[in-house]
Structure 1
Amino acid sequence: MANDDQREPVKTASFGATMKAVFWSFFGVRKRRDYEHDAANLNPIHVIVGGLIGVALFIGILVFVVRMVVAKS
Structure 2
Amino acid sequence: MSDNGGSRKASFGQSMKAVFWAFFGVRKRSDLESDATQLNPLHVVAAALIGAAIFAGILLLVVRAVVK
The verdict on a shared fold, with TM-score over 0.5 as the criterion, is yes
**Pair member with larger Rg:** 1
* Structure 1 residue runs of 4 or more that deviate by more than 3 Å after TM superposition: 5-9
User: What's the TM-score, normalizing by structure 2?
Assistant: 0.90
Question: Residue 8 of structure 2 contacts residue 40 of structure 2 at CA under 8 Å; is this kept in 1?
Answer: no
Q: Which residue of 11, 17, 24 maps to 1:20?
A: 17
How many pairs align? 67
How far did residue 11 of structure 1 move?
4.2
TM-score normalised by L of structure 1: 0.85
Higher relative contact order (CA 8 A, sep 6+): 2
Match of 1:54 among 32, 51, 54: 51
Q: Percent identity?
A: 58
C-alpha RMSD of matched pairs (Å):
1.4
The runs of 5 or more residues in structure 1 that have no matched partner are none
Q: What displacement does 1:30 show?
A: 0.2
